[in-house]
Amino acid sequence: MPERFNAYRIHQRGDGVDARFEQLTLDDLSPGEVVIRVAYSSINYKDALAATGAGRILRRYPLVGGIDLAGTVEQSADQAFRAGAAVLVTGCGLSETRDGGYAQFARVPASAVVAMPPGLDALSAMALGTAGFAAGRAVMRMEINGQTPAMGPVVVTGATGGVGSLAIDMLAAKGYEVVALTGKPESEQYLRALGASQLLPRTAVTPGKQPLESARWGGAIDNCGGDTLAWLLRGTRDAGNVASIGLASDGELHTTVMPFILRGVSLLGVNSSAATREVRDAVWRRLSSDLKPRHLDRIVTRNIEFNELPAAFESYLTSVVVGRTVVRIGPTAA
């Protein structure tokens, strides 16, 4: 590997951040047993918050950004990963407590590394990334808790985002009737192509005056939190599951116990960052097989080069992004 390589590093500057390309050496990176030559990364909402300082994501500075990466092992002190092996890493403290995937080389703990499962490569793995992991984990938790298509339609909120888009595709392929809740009615064709059978506007979410509403939904995957999550709980049918993934609208939840004790509704939390190795391996096996989205090419709406990265974050903060963005890093990227 070269002595120096390119990385997009985030520094603290007063109350904000200063993110920029820098030349680093391996010794500049967080410690770890496995060095990976990064081929691709991706952009998640969390990445945009970290790189712009719009959210307090990093717990120490400076750090290389990027919560996802995929590539090949360059060198390893762990016998489980040999040089040349295809691997991926998502979450596990990347761009939070340790250097992330926006660099031509990454050094990570062996416990964070996932062997590339058959059916995926670096590009398709990053088309999924943390968003795909979260969506897949949500579907799996719902299945374990008894969710079936016969229980009725499943609502997916934040439907045009990465998690929402991938969740719609996965659920539809499993035979679920999927209802897409979105503030982007202009994306109807996109959402229906992924498998949504119905679209609901954000205005469908109304403050609750009663602890329960008409039971309309078999379950839900929620990226919003707040009033949206409370509304979903009030309208979910007996024994339905609501998976909570994000807080795009609000981190608070104001509800009653009525959906839980009168309808047996389950609220399932989905942590995509700190999952155990066993869970991560299991989810990626499913993502490379029966949960692999059928429309990844459609969901990846932007493929950008490493040097285009800084200009790509703002659109996430203004909520105009649809689908997923994949970033080609590569050892020779500018």
Q: Is the pLDDT of residue 2 over 90?
A: no
More confident residue, 15 or 230: 230
Give the whole-number percent of the chain exceeding pLDDT 70: 99
pLDDT at 250: 86
Tell me if 238 sits within 8 A of 257, measured CB to CB: no
Query: 324: how many CB neighbours lie within 10 A of its CB?
Result: 26
User: Which one, of 104, 96, 125, lies nearest residue 39 by Cα?
Assistant: 104
pLDDT at 15: 87
Dist. CA 7–CA 104, nearest whole Å: 6
Query: For residue range 265-285, what is the model confidence (pLDDT) as tens digits?
Result: 999 999 988 889 999 999 999
Dist. CA 329–CA 247, nearest whole Å: 29
User: Which one, of 173, 129, 120, 151, lies nearest residue 293 by Cα?
Assistant: 173
Within this chain, domains 5-116+296-328 and 130-269 share the same CATH topology: no
Query: For residue range 166-211, what is the model confidence (pLDDT) as tens digits?
Result: 999 999 999 999 999 999 999 999 999 999 999 999 999 988 789 9
Dist. CA 245–CA 143, nearest whole Å: 16
pLDDT at 330: 85
Q: Could you tell me the residue ranges of all domains in the chain?
A: 5-116+296-328, 130-269
Query: For residue range 50-105, what is the model confidence (pLDDT) as tens digits?
Result: 999 998 899 999 999 999 999 999 999 999 999 999 999 999 999 999 999 999 99
Q: Domain 5-116+296-328 falls in which CATH fold?
A: Quinone Oxidoreductase; Chain A, domain 1 (3.90.180)
Query: For residue range 104-152, what is the model confidence (pLDDT) as tens digits?
Result: 999 999 999 999 999 999 999 999 999 999 999 999 999 999 999 999 9
Model pTM?
Answer: 0.94
Give mean pLDDT, residues 223-241.
Answer: 96
- Which amino acid, 138? A
Alpha-carbon distance values, 53 to 58, 206, 313, 332 (Å)? 9, 32, 11, 28
Bridge partners, 327 (sequence order): 41, 304
Query: 325: how many CB neighbours lie within 10 A of its CB?
Result: 27
User: In three state form, how does the secondary structure of 129-164 look?
Assistant: HHHHHHHHHHHHHHHHCCCCHHHCCEEEECCCCHHH
Give mean pLDDT, residues 244-273.
Answer: 93
pLDDT band at 333 (very low <50, low <70, confident <90, very high): very low
pLDDT at 102: 98
Computed over every residue of the chain, the mean pLDDT equals 95
CATH of domain 130-269: 3.40.50.720
b vs e for 86-125, b when ≥16 Cβ sit within 10 Å of the residue's Cβ?
A: bbbbbbbbbbbebbbbbbbbbbbbeebbbebbeebebebb
